[in-house]
Amino acid sequence: MDEAAQSGRRGRASVRAARIQDVAKLAEVSTATVSRALATPERVSAEARARVMEAIAKTGYVPNPAARTLRSQKTYMVLVVLPDLANTFFSKILRGIEETLFEAGYGMIIGDLDGSPEKEAHFAAYTAAGRVDGAILLHGHLFGQSRGGEGAPDRIGIPLVALCEAIPGADIPQIEIDNRAAASRMTRHLASLGHRSIAYVSGPAGNILELERFLGYRDGLEAAGLSFDPALVIPGDYTIESGVAAGQNLVARASRPTAVFCTSDEMAIGLMRTLFSAGLKVPDDISVAGFDDIEFAAVAEPALTTIHQPRRELGQAAATALVALLQGRPTPKRIRLDTELVIRDSVAALCPMS
């Protein structure tokens, strides 16, 4: 029961007073290096710093916190704020961010807003308290601002980078795709296969991605010589559930569009499920297109035609920009990565006989 004794009682591990010498010995460095790693970490190699930090964790050494705080506020940790972690779209983005940060000697922690402003206050306070060195924002606004950009942003004294959801007017590096061009391209693709009645399942109202993709849908219709019909716009919020609901909306209609452009893959997968349950076939009866190219898109039945976002590269680009800021180097203000139209099995040419 040595192990249980060591891990302590009631989940609280027991702490004996470890000394700086214990840390130095375990990390195979001098005590001076341990002090430097805590006080002026930029003067120690990333490799030695990692060994010291690991030895600190192993020994349970607690440096004099007041002394340490006065000397250095560096945490070597970056906060990534997501609008909704449940969307699988984010997993590869996070991987791209994490691997780039890790290489530069930083860890990543994730905060999930799940749409709730009170939760944002929690992360804003944590950030303002200096518990991270920088933050990457994927939720489309600065701390303290509304989605529409109203209100003065919180004065957070650390570097920030915006990713995916652009923040109009914010003077920070912003990394994104061209959502408008991508949505236009998908709409033109559907039109090029003979579809004249193309429905659009939207993202959440007021969301910048939704705004851009909707403009792209209209661009695409116009380029194909099709007129815009508001009755073909079905509200969604990027979730599977809203795709299921959009499918019910379609099934209930007397006259149905021949193609549906869902602005997320999750919605497309939920929508197809509802169509199948109603006895409709994809793509024979109705073509369905997605957006994002999440892992499930390729293995859906039928496999989903969609817009591929370079998710890992988006994450890497955001982390690269943030690391540059953290190290005092210049970085471009706006980076746009390319998307691809991925043609699979869920979209077919409209047969003139049907």
Q: Provide the edge-to-edge strand list for the sheet that holds 259-262.
A: 233-234, 198-201, 259-262, 287-289
Alpha carbon distance 276, 272 (integer Å): 6
- Among the listed ranges 109-117, 203-211, 225-233, 283-291, the one in contact with its own copies (CB under 8 A) is 109-117
Query: Cβ 85 to its own copies, closest distance in Å?
Result: 6
Q: Is 14 in the site for its own copies (CB under 8 A)?
A: yes
Alpha carbon distance 160, 80 (integer Å): 10
Partners of 337 in the β-ladder:
177
CA-to-CA dists, residue 73 to 32, 65, 82, angstroms: 19, 11, 25
Query: Cβ 218 to its own copies, closest distance in Å?
Result: 28
Q: Which is nearer to its own copies, 160 or 208 (CB)?
A: 160
| Choice from 166, 208, 234, 240 touching its own copies (CB under 8 A) | 240
Question: What are the residues whose beta carbons fall under 8 Å from the beta carbon of 316, sequence distance 6 or more?
Answer: 96, 97, 99, 100
- Among the listed ranges 112-120, 186-194, 198-206, 218-226, the one in contact with its own copies (CB under 8 A) is 112-120
Among candidates 214, 196, 209, which has minimal Cα distance to 257?
Answer: 196
Q: Is 119 in the site for its own copies (CB under 8 A)?
A: yes
Q: Which is nearer to its own copies, 119 or 196 (CB)?
A: 119
Measured at the alpha carbon of residue 54, what is the angle toward residues 52 and 57, in degrees to the nearest 5?
110
Q: Which is nearer to its own copies, 163 or 226 (CB)?
A: 163
The site map against its own copies for 42-81 (x = CB under 8 A) is: --------x--xx-xxxxxxx--xxx-xx--x-xxx-x--
Exposed, middle or buried: residue 76 (CB in 10 Å: 0-12, 13-18, 19+)?
middle
| Choice from 28, 125, 165, 252 touching its own copies (CB under 8 A) | 125
| Choice from 6, 227, 255, 354 touching its own copies (CB under 8 A) | 6
Alpha carbon distance 111, 119 (integer Å): 9
| Residues 256-295, interacting with its own copies (CB under 8 A) | 269-270, 272-273, 276, 295
Measured at the alpha carbon of residue 110, what is the angle toward residues 90 and 240, in degrees to the nearest 5?
35
Count of residues engaged in binding its own copies, rule: CB under 8 A: 103
Q: Is 235 in the site for its own copies (CB under 8 A)?
A: no
Which one-letter amino acid corresponds to residue 44? V
| Residues 158-177, interacting with its own copies (CB under 8 A) | 158-161, 169-173
The site map against its own copies for 293-332 (x = CB under 8 A) is: --xx-xxxx-x-----------------xx--x----xx-
**Rg of the chain (C-alpha set):** 25
Q: Is 154 in the site for its own copies (CB under 8 A)?
A: yes
| Choice from 124, 182, 234, 260 touching its own copies (CB under 8 A) | 124
